[in-house]
């Protein structure tokens, strides 16, 4: 078997090159080498996987998420198929990681792309039906002289698939029992037992006992059940879990004209395609709903002055910050590597041990500690090192930038020192000796022999370091919070914000979240980082080594 | 070796001061400067933690007090459940690290030992994916977990399992390439010998290859643990209850709520949080440096 004895080259399991007998032999080897424990393990794991997939799919189908449910079924089936067949060895080893990679890295990137084209955010985070429902819920009054309903509060019985959701069951004037829940209008209850004008049991549901009612009082009083499919008919609400009343909204929704009318003022709000009902005067009725806005977010980012200005500023600073971070840490790291890369020097080991400490200390804590030391009024640096000066390290736009670079130098130089030391030691000493014999000065020998070799060796690391600092969220956010804030900007940014911290602030900080705009910024970062890395890797020819 | 260095040292000792200064003396001066720069913030935070009731301003008198009361106080604050944060961080960090190592090693084994269609494409993709940290897609991750939470609350928003799953999504991209390089240094003849002796692929992987590559497994596990420990963005977006949060999220909120008032307690929390990663770094120093040179960034 010549293929089996070669040390490099293709591994032995390449079916096309083996004879039938060799394949048979390989099968026997495989079959005999797998112990029963392994088979049992495989059966148990696959069984659990299938059970989870079936359960997840069932729940999804019950919630009417047909597409995602089908994906779960297809995915589960594909995994089972991969592990049940013989062969497909690479797939068996890659599948576990790939599942997570596909969902939480690849899919979320595509999903960011989708969200960037919507108006998703505060006041626009659901469908139009939900928005209508929510508007109607906000401004409700009890209908004068409306009947009182004897209400029973129920929850689904059964253990496995039961939700926590609460239901109302009521009896109509003609004795019919109805059941409904949040966003599920009243409908005839099957198998309902009525006693004294009150529902006492329904198939598949448990009536909440009094103690439980008290326990979940908040949930019960918050529950609002639509009387019918038409939201204008109003809703049932209860204060005590015993009697329910009919409430209607101040707003009336006209389905044919697709308008909302305020019955008190007579103001008419129309759906103008902006994802909200808008009055003649331009007043929006909140909440709105999520719509596709095409390139609006991107257009806003480049045309609205209050966004464009900060965006350009932040982008430039992000580049400057990433570049200067790599440059300063690399220069200091290389300098120290050269200083300590001398056989004659003693106790280098101890220096190195201490120098690794800033790198070992968790980064977010370092930034918080430095933020304390750089505090203008109370910080150690102003009070002790500068004898009580009041230097605005973190609150002046330019000094804050300098502070960020200083702290990043502290955080990052040990890494550069370690990799430069490693790279320097890998360069044979004979090279510089030969150059010196030929008459080159020490510095000249270093510059034209060692430095180029060193740079080729660590260029990929410098690129990764650039990419890392490009998104060095923790440092910026923990040290200055992106501030000092630029008050003239239309979005919440400051003069040390980098792109990624801007995304975070637009999406998650403050009361107004704008997921659409934040995602549009994310896409921008993706494009920048992608372009840089492809160019950089092509230049350093890293791709060519892959095989 | 030791003999040689002993004679070498003897030679050094005989050097006149000026020559010693020119050759190595100034290097020690640089060294002392760097040491001061490196450890001074750490000494500052340690001193602040030993000064109970201390604020930012009193922390400036280094080692004016020596008491561990802040460490005790740290565990008695119902508003800021430090013990819970600590355990959460350990749980999330260890689980994510173990998962990352397993997923990464499986994939690296496939790329290193098998030849299949799409292999080169897969490797290039991994190198590229490395450049895009998950936090870029934080909005989408948040919305995805919000959606999952509506149907499966146990793994959606505000769930630690959900957070671990998100971290595992980044595992393949960050670790596989590093491991792949190391797997390639193990000669294939070892696999073949085992195969001839009758071992199947699973046995070769678990009992032969994994022990041989354990240094890189340690490096990846450590970097992944430290990475999760410091991870703020996704954890802060996904975990809402103070009881479920991690150290990074909790301590940040602690400091932003009380800025300079409880500086000593914060310092104690910082020191405790840093002990594990710093100790691991120092113990595994040798392995880490080799891993760094092979191309990983913290």
Strand A259-262 and strand A268-271: pairing?
Answer: antiparallel
Pair (A42, A93) in one structural domain? yes
Asked if B105 reaches chain A (Cβ–Cβ under 8 Å), the answer is no
Assess B155–A contact: CB distance below 8 Å, yes or no.
Answer: no
Give the B window 69-88 contacts with A, CB below 8 Å: none
Q: Measured between CB atoms, does B166 come within 8 Å of chain A?
A: yes
Rounded to whole angstroms, the Cα distance separating B185 from A155 reads 61
Helix H or strand E segment including A98: helix A89-101
d(CA B254, CA A6): 61
- Among A60, A93, A130, pick the best mutation site for testing chain B contact (most B Cβ within 10 A): A93
Residues of chain A positioned with their CB less than 8 A from the CB of B41: 358, 366, 369-370, 373, 410
Which residue carries 């899919």 as its tokens?
Answer: A107
Are A348 and A401 members of one domain? yes
**Residue A387 and residue A310 share a domain:** yes
Place of tokens 């080799």: B290
CB B49 within 8 A of CB B71: yes
A378: nearest Cα among B255, B42, B61: B61
Instruction: Looking at the structure, tell me whether residues A149 and A111 fall in a common domain.
Output: no
Q: Residue A206 burial (CB < 10 Å; 0-12/13-18/19+)? A: middle
The pair phi, psi for residue A126, each rounded to 5°, is: -150, -170
DSSP for A301-343 reads: HHH-HHHHHHHHHHHHHHHHHHHHHHHHHHHHHHHHHHHH--T
Measured in angstroms, the CA of B218 and the nearest CA of chain A are apart by 15
Contact A109 B168 (CB under 8 A): no
**For residue A525, which residues of chain B lie inside 8 Å, CB to CB?**
136
**Across the 298 residues of chain B, what is the mean pLDDT of every consecutive 10-residue run?**
50 70 83 92 92 79 83 87 94 95 94 90 84 88 90 88 93 83 88 86 87 87 89 92 91 80 88 92 79 54
Question: In this complex, is the C-beta atom of B255 within 8 Å of any C-beta atom belonging to chain A?
Answer: yes
At A126 the three-state DSSP class reads: coil
Residue B194 · residue B203 · CB < 8 Å: yes
- CA A333 to chain B, closest CA, distance in angstroms equals 11
Cβ contacts of B102 on chain A, cutoff 8 Å: 96
Put simply, the chain B residues between 40 and 59 with a CB less than 8 A from any chain A CB are: 41-42, 44-45, 55-57, 59
Q: What span, in angstroms and rounded, lies between the C-alpha atoms of B119 and B18?
A: 60
Strand pairing category for A251-254 and A166-171:
unpaired
Examine the domain organization and report whether A328 and A453 are in the same domain: yes
Same domain, A414 and A516: yes
One digit per residue, the tens of pLDDT, for chain A of length 547 reads: 333 433 444 444 444 556 777 777 766 666 655 567 778 888 899 999 999 999 999 989 988 888 989 999 999 999 999 988 877 889 999 999 999 999 999 899 999 999 999 888 877 777 777 777 777 777 777 777 777 777 878 787 765 555 677 888 877 777 777 788 877 787 777 777 777 777 777 777 777 777 777 777 777 777 788 877 777 777 787 877 777 777 777 777 776 777 777 776 767 777 776 777 777 776 777 777 777 878 888 888 888 888 888 899 999 999 999 999 999 999 999 999 988 887 777 788 888 889 889 988 999 999 999 999 998 888 888 888 888 888 898 989 999 999 999 999 999 999 999 889 888 888 888 887 888 888 888 788 888 888 888 888 888 788 888 888 999 999 999 999 887 887 777 778 888 999 999 999 988 887 778 898 999 999 999 999 888 888 887 777 666 666 5
Name which of A486, A405, A361, A394 is nearest B260 in CA terms. Answer: A394
Interface probe with A: pick from B62, B98, B120, B140, most Cβ of A within 10 Å: B140
Q: Say whether both A456 and A349 belong to one domain.
A: yes
**Tokens encoding A389:** 């000066």
Residues of A in contact with B172 (CB under 8 A): 97-98, 100-101, 105
Structure tokens, A127: 């469908």
Helix B214-230 to helix B160-184 angle (10° resolution) is 150
**In angstroms, what separates the C-alpha of B234 from chain A's closest C-alpha?**
10
CATH code for the domain in which residue A228 is found:
2.40.430.10
Out of B189, B202, B290, whose CB is closest to A7?
B189
Asked whether residue A124 is domain-assigned, the answer is: no
Torsion of CA A423, B280, A408, B233, to 10 degrees: 120
Alpha carbon distance A382, A376 (integer Å): 7
Helix (H) or strand (E) holding B158, with range, is none
- One-character DSSP codes across A161-178: S--S-EEEEEE-TTS-EE
B194 touches chain A (CB under 8 A): no
Residues A383 and A496 grouped into a single domain: yes
- b/e A14-45 (16+ beta carbons within 10 angstroms → b): eeeebeeeeeeebeebbeebbeeeeeeeeeee
Domain CATH for A416: 1.10.3720.10
Nearest CB to A363: which of B56, B103, B230?
A: B230
Nearest by CB: A112 against B30, B140, B295: B140
DSSP A147: P
Q: Which helix (H) or strand (E) holds A401?
A: helix A397-426
Question: For tokens 């109370």, what's the residue?
Answer: A378
**Following CA atoms B149, B152, B156, B158 in sequence, which dihedral angle do they give, to the nearest 10 degrees?**
80
- Cα distance between residue A24 and residue A59, in whole Å: 44
Structural domain boundaries of chain B?
2-73, 78-293
Instruction: Determine the Cα–Cα distance for residues A292 and A274; give it in Å rounded to an integer.
Output: 9
How far away is chain A from the Cα of B40, in angstroms, using its nearest Cα? 10
Specify the pLDDT at position B107. Answer: 93
Name the token pair of A272. Answer: 């103008």
The single residue listed with the structure tokens 């400051």 is: A494
The answer to whether residue A524 is domain-embedded is yes
Asked if A120 lies within 8 A of B143 by C-beta distance, the reply is yes
Tell me the ipTM for this assembly.
0.89
Which tokens is B201 given?
Answer: 């692929």
Domains: count for chain A: 3
Beta-bridge mates of residue A200: none
From the list A131, A124, A80, A78, the residue with the least C-alpha distance to A102 is: A78
How far, in Å, CA of A546 to CA of A513, rounded? 43
Measured between beta carbons, the chain A residues lying within 8 angstroms of B286 are none
Token representation of residue A189: 């209850």
The alpha carbon of residue B59 is apart from the nearest alpha carbon of chain A, in Å, by 8
Asked if A109's CB is within 8 angstroms of B140's CB, the reply is yes
> Which of A336, A360, A547 lies nearest to residue B277, judging by beta carbons?
A360
In a domain, A134, yes or no: no
All residues of chain A having their beta carbon less than 8 Å from the beta carbon of residue B267 are 369
Interchain CB distance below 8 Å, B232 and A478: yes
Length of chain A: 547
Do residues A93 and A183 share a domain?
A: no
Query: Sheet of A259-262: strands edge to edge?
Result: A251-254, A259-262, A268-271, A277-279, A284-285
Q: What is the pTM of this model?
A: 0.82
pLDDT of residue B298: 41
> Of B138, B143, B176, which has the smallest distance from its Cβ to A504's Cβ?
B138
Q: What is the DSSP letter of A238?
A: E
In angstroms, what separates the C-alpha of A388 from chain B's closest C-alpha? 11
> Is A199 in a helix, a strand, or coil?
strand
Query: Cα(B228)–Cα(A390) distance, rounded to whole angstroms?
Result: 37
Task: Choose, out of A368, A479, A530, the residue to mutate when testing the contact with B (most B CBs < 10 Å).
Answer: A368
User: How many residues are listed for chain B in this entry?
Assistant: 298
Of A115, A135, A167, at which residue does a domain stop? A115
CB within 8 Å: A100 and B169:
yes
CA distance A386 to chain B (A): 12
DSSP string, B181-241: HHHHTS-HHHHHHHHHTT--HHHIIIIIIHHHTHHHHHHHHHHHHHHHHH--HHHHHH--S
Residue A395 domain flag: yes
A352 & A420 share domain: yes
Judge contact between A29 and B134, C-beta under 8 A.
no
Is B293 near chain A, with CB under 8 Å? yes
Tokens describing residue A44? 């148990």
The greatest distance separating any two alpha carbons of chain B, rounded to the nearest whole angstrom, comes to: 78
Cα of A108 to nearest chain B Cα, Å: 5
CB contact under 8 A, A342 and B27: yes
Q: Do A111 and B202 touch (CB under 8 A)?
A: no
User: b/e map of A57-84 (b: 16 or more CB within 10 Å)?
Assistant: bebbeeeebeebbeebbebbeebeeeee
Q: Where are the alpha helices (DSSP H) in chain B?
A: 2-13, 17-20, 26-49, 69-74, 82-113, 119-129, 138-151, 160-184, 188-196, 201-203, 210-212, 214-230, 233-238, 247-258, 263-283, 285-293
Q: Of the candidates A115, A136, A161, which is a domain's last residue?
A: A115
Q: Give the contacts of B25 (CB within 8 A, at least 6 positions apart).
A: B17
In a domain, A413, yes or no: yes
B72 touches B268 (CB < 8 A): no
| Structure confidence at residue B93 (pLDDT) | 95
From A223, A255, A287, the end of a domain falls on A255
Residues of chain A contacting residue B129, judged by C-beta atoms under 8 Å apart: 101, 105
Residue of B nearest to A57 (CA): B151
Containing structural domain, residue A405? 305-545
Q: Same structural domain for residues A526 and A414?
A: yes
Residue A225: predicted pLDDT: 81
| Residues A30, B191: C-beta atoms closer than 8 Å | no
CB contact under 8 A, B278 and A357: yes
A135, part of any domain: no
Cβ count near A440 (within 10 Å): 16
CB pairs < 8 Å spanning A and B:
317
- Rounded alpha-carbon distances, angstroms, from residue A33 to A30, A91, B201, B207: 5, 20, 9, 13
At the fourth CATH level, which superfamily is domain B78-293?
MetI-like (1.10.3720.10)
How far is residue A324 from each of residues A320, A362, A395, A495, B231, measured CA to CA in Å?
Answer: 6, 22, 20, 16, 23
Residue A18: per-residue pLDDT:
66
C-alpha A27/C-alpha A9 separation (Å) is: 22
- For residue A420, the chain B residues in CB contact (below 8 A) are none
């Amino acid at each position: 078997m010549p293929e089996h004895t070669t040390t490099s080259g293709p591994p032995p399991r390449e079916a096309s090159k083996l004879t039938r007998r060799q394949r048979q032999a390989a099968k026997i080897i495989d079959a005999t080498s797998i112990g029963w424990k392994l088979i049992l393990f495989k059966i148990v794991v696959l069984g659990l996987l299938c059970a989870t997939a079936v359960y997840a799919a069932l729940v999804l189908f019950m919630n009417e998420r047909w597409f995602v449910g089908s994906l779960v079924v297809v995915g589960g089936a594909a995994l089972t198929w991969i592990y049940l067949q013989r062969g497909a060895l690479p797939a068996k080893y890659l599948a576990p990681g790939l599942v997570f990679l596909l969902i939480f890295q690849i899919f979320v990137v595509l999903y960011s792309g989708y969200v960037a084209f919507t108006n998703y955010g505060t006041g626009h985070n659901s469908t139009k039906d939900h928005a209508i429902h929510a508007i109607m819920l906000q401004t409700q009054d009890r209908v004068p002289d409306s009947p009182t309903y004897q209400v029973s509060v129920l929850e689904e019985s059964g253990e496995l698939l039961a939700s926590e959701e609460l239901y109302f069951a009521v009896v109509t004037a003609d004795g019919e029992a109805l059941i409904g829940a949040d966003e599920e209008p009243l409908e005839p209850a099957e198998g309902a037992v009525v006693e004294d004008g009150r529902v006492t049991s329904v198939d598949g549901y448990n009536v909440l006992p009094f103690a439980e009612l008290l326990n979940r009082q908040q949930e019960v009083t918050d529950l609002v059940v639509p009387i019918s499919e038409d939201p204008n008919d109003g809703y049932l609400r209860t204060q005590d879990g015993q009697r329910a009343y009919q409430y209607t909204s101040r707003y009336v929704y006209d389905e044919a004209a697709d308008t909302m009318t305020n019955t008190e003022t007579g103001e008419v709000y129309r759906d103008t395609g902006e994802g909200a009902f808008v009055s003649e005067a331009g007043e929006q009725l909140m909440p709105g709903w999520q719509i596709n806005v095409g390139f609006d977010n991107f257009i806003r980012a480049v045309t609205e002055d209050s966004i464009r200005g900060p965006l350009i500023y932040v982008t430039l600073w992000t580049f400057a910050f990433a570049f200067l971070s790599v440059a300063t840490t690399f220069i200091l790291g290389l300098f120290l590597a050269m200083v300590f890369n001398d056989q004659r020097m003693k106790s280098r080991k101890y220096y190195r041990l201490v120098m690794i400490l800033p790198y070992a200390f968790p980064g977010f804590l370092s930034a918080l500690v430095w933020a304390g030391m750089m505090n203008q009024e109370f910080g150690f640096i102003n009070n002790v090192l500068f004898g009580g000066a009041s230097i605005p390290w973190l609150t002046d736009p330019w000094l804050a930038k300098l502070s960020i670079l200083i702290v990043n130098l502290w955080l990052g130089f040990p890494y550069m020192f370690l990799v430069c030391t490693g790279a320097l030691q890998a360069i044979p000493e004979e090279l510089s000796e030969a150059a010196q014999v030929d008459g080159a000065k020490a510095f000249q020998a270093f510059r034209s022999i060692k430095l180029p070799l060193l740079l080729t060796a660590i260029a990929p690391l410098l690129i990764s370091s650039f990419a890392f600092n490009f998104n060095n969220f923790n440092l910026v956010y923990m040290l200055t919070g992106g501030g000092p804030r630029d008050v003239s900007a239309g979005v919440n940014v400051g003069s040390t914000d980098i792109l990624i911290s801007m995304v975070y602030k637009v999406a998650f900080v403050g009361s107004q979240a704008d997921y659409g705009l934040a995602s549009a910024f994310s896409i921008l970062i993706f494009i920048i980082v992608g372009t840089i890395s492809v160019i950089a890797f092509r230049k350093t020819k890293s791709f060519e080594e892959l095989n | 070796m030791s003999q040689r260095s002993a004679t070498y040292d003897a030679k050094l000792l005989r050097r006149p001061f000026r020559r010693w200064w020119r050759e190595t003396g100034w290097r020690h001066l640089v060294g002392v400067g760097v040491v001061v720069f490196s450890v001074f913030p750490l000494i500052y935070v340690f001193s602040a933690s030993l000064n109970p009731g201390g604020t930012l301003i009193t922390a400036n008198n280094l080692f004016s007090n020596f008491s561990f009361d802040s460490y005790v106080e740290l565990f008695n604050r119902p508003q800021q459940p430090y013990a819970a944060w600590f355990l959460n961080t350990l749980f999330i960090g260890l689980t994510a690290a173990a998962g990352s190592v397993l997923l990464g090693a499986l994939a690296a084994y496939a790329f290193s030992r098998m030849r299949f269609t799409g292999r080169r494409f897969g490797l290039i993709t991994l190198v590229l994916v490395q450049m895009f940290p998950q936090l870029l897609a934080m909005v989408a991750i948040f919305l995805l977990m919000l959606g999952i939470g509506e149907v499966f609350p146990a793994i959606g928003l505000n769930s630690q399992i959900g957070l671990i799953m998100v971290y595992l999504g980044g595992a393949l991209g960050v670790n596989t390439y590093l491991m792949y390089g190391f797997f390639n240094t193990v000669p294939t003849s070892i696999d073949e010998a085992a195969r001839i002796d009758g071992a199947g692929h699973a046995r070769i992987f678990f009992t032969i290859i994994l022990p041989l590559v354990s240094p890189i497994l340690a490096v990846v596990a450590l970097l992944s643990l430290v990475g999760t420990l410091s991870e703020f963005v996704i954890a802060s977006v996904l975990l809402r209850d103070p009881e479920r949060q991690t150290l990074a999220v909790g301590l940040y909120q602690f400091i932003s709520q009380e800025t300079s008032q409880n500086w000593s307690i914060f310092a104690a929390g910082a020191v405790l949080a840093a002990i594990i990663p710093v100790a691991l770094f120092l113990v595994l120093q040798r392995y880490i440096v080799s891993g760094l040179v092979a191309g990983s960034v913290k």
